[in-house]
Amino acid sequence: MDAFLTSAALVALAEMGDKTQLLAMLLATRFRKPVPIILGIFGATVANHFLAALVGHSIAGVLTQPWFRYAVAASFILMAGWTLIPDKIDADAPLKAPSKAGVFVTTLVAFFLVEMGDKTQVATVALGARFDNLFAVTMGTTLGMMIANVPAVLFGEALAKKVPMRALQVGAALLFLLLGLWMLAGLQGWLG
């Protein structure tokens, strides 16, 4: 349960103001079809985050040396800094569903590709390395993405004007920092 809840909380907070959340708002305002957009986000996230968690889990199983655990802890601390850097997306760039693909496929492909190398994907790799439950990490990170993106799709521009994105980014950064410091304290034997 720790893997699921930690994954959901970290990704939900890290996603605030992230380029994929901005993409969700952009898709919602351009296509005005929330159900296929939400389903596309869900499908893309499950696929992308399963692969990311699998990579993290595989690396953790092969590299069990203390230096690797320090590297995972350091990655969470670095994620804290990265979370403070706001993403931008060009809202004026032309966005059109391919004639045969439709809104669902457009969202699925766009989200999967935009999430590659994104901070939430990197966080999922680190979470997969940290926790031994691949399913819980994937479902937790997927839930976190949905918590952040479904309101973005449904409420779009109104939400962006009312929610203090900077405060959410700082909260996410603090969560990443605390997790990294907690791992370091555990490696040093400071925790019981």
As a whole number of angstroms, the distance between CA 112 and CA 49 comes to 9
- pTM for the model: 0.69
Tell me how many degrees the CA angle 131-62-80 measures, rounded to the nearest 5: 45
**With 90 as the cut, is the pLDDT of residue 123 above it?**
no
Distance in angstroms (rounded) separating the CA atoms of residues 91 and 140: 29
- Supply the DSSP string of 12-52, one letter for each residue: HHHTTT-HHHHHHHHHHHHH--HHHHHHHHHHHHHHHHHHH
pLDDT digits (tens, 9 = 90+) for 163-190: 666 766 677 678 778 877 887 888 888 8
pLDDT tens-digit series, residues 7-24? 999 899 888 877 788 788
Nearest one of 128, 113, 108 to 51, comparing CA atoms: 128
Separation of alpha carbons 2 and 4, rounded Å: 5
pLDDT in tens, 31-52: 888 999 999 999 999 999 999 9
